[in-house]
């Protein structure tokens, strides 16, 4: 099973892709500092709503296949830095699709 993590999962396109991948058999995790409606409800219904808001580098584990980076994630995002350190494949939404 492919494992992906979304940095900035709350965006309109990002949360839709996360839900589609989960339905397609991927193991999906994600983080965001702000999640608004309708993304919040959609993520909750799919079982993908993060337990707490914020960035958590410990979510970036060695068994991830890919990190999908949202547009509003800063270059110094702790999860992004951890993924770079661990040399995990990092792609944008458009690169992934």
**pLDDT, tens digit, for every residue of 17-42?**
999 999 999 999 999 999 999 999 99
pLDDT at site 40: 97
Sorted by sequence, the CB contacts under 8 Å of residue 40 that are 6+ apart come out as: 10, 49
pLDDT at site 72: 87
pLDDT at site 68: 98
pLDDT at site 1: 80
Q: What angle do CA 91, 94, 97 make, to 5 degrees?
A: 90
pLDDT at site 42: 98
pTM for this model (two decimals): 0.95
Can you tell me whether residue 53 is helix, strand or coil?
Answer: coil
Adjacent-strand bridge partners of 7: 31, 69
Domains annotated on the chain, with CATH: 3-96 (3.40.50.720)
**pLDDT, tens digit, for every residue of 37-96?**
999 999 999 999 999 999 999 999 999 999 999 998 999 999 999 999 999 999 999 999
């Amino acid at each position: 099973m492919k494992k992906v993590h979304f940095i900035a999962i709350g965006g309109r396109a990002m949360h839709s892709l996360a839900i589609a991948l989960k339905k397609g058999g991927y193991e999906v995790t994600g983080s965001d500092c702000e999640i608004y409606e309708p993304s919040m409800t959609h993520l909750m219904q799919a079982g993908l709503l993060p337990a707490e808001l914020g960035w958590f580098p410990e979510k970036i584990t060695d068994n991830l296949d890919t990190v999908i980076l949202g547009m509003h994630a800063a270059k110094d995002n702790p999860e992004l830095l951890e993924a770079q350190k661990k040399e995990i494949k990092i792609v944008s939404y458009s690169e992934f699709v």
